[in-house]
């Protein structure tokens, strides 16, 4: 029978708590800590107040190529690489710090994050499995997420060449053709 260090177990519980708070799926947490599934389920329910979501993890490289997802994914992964190079922890620690910084940066500009923790962690795994890579834009020299092994000659990013409908929001109730109320006209 092997004895586990109380300190190591406490570190794993704290890591699991951090991951749950960030919205990590149970499948991801199970791969990062050696706590039993039953214990993780109890911990998840205690923190979130609900059972963890069921179902498969996302598996589509193409999701990261749409214009808004590509901007956010590229920003996230560039921060992640910086954290890996200059941080003192491992990959999971860099992932947690990067995701928190990503959320902070996006919210500081009044926007909502496009990536959730699961998408961010999946992106890192796609890079590790060589399914995507960073490619430099020939106009702005920024590095953006792109399919691996595609020809990238004269690559232009989604910021320098946004799609025609980029930035358009859904119309409010009643749409643009709706006539304004008298109170709206008076103000």
pLDDT tens, position by position, 151-169 = 778 999 999 998 887 666 6
Q: With a cut of 50, say whether residue 125 has pLDDT above it.
A: yes
Q: What is the pLDDT of residue 164?
A: 81
Domain-wise residue ranges, the chain: 6-48, 61-147
pLDDT confidence of 1, banded at 50, 70, 90? very low
DSSP state of 132: E
Query: What integer pLDDT is reported at residue 176 of this predicted model?
Result: 46
Predicted structure pTM score = 0.81
> If you compute the radius of gyration of the chain from its CA atoms, what whole number of angstroms results?
21
> Does the pLDDT of residue 177 top 80, yes or no?
no
Measured CA distances, 128 to 43, 122, 125, 147 (Å) = 29, 10, 5, 13
Asked whether the predicted pLDDT for residue 147 surpasses 90, the reply is yes
Tell me the C-alpha distance between 181 and 147, whole Å.
49
Mean pLDDT value across residues 110-130: 94
Residues 27-84: tens digit of each pLDDT: 899 999 999 999 999 999 999 999 998 877 667 899 999 999 999 999 999 999 999 9
């Amino acid at each position: 029978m092997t004895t586990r260090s109380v300190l190591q177990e406490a570190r794993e519980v704290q890591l699991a708590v951090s991951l749950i708070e960030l919205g990590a799926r149970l499948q991801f947490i199970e791969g990062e800590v050696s706590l039993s599934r039953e214990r993780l389920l109890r911990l998840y329910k205690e923190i979130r107040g609900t059972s963890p979501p069921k179902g498969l993890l996302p598996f589509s490289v193409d999701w990261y190529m749409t214009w808004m997802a590509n901007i956010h994914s590229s920003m996230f992964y560039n921060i992640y690489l910086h954290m890996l190079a200059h941080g003192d922890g491992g990959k999971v620690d860099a992932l947690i710090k990067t995701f928190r910084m990503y959320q902070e940066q996006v919210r500081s500009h009044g926007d909502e994050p496009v990536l959730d923790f699961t998408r961010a962690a999946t992106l890192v795994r796609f890079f590790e499995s060589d399914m995507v890579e960073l490619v430099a834009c020939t106009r702005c020299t920024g590095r953006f997420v792109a399919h691996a092994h595609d020809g990238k000659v004269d690559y232009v990013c989604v910021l320098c060449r946004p799609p025609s409908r980029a930035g358009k929001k859904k119309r409010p109730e009643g749409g643009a053709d709706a006539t304004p109320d008298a109170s709206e006209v008076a103000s």
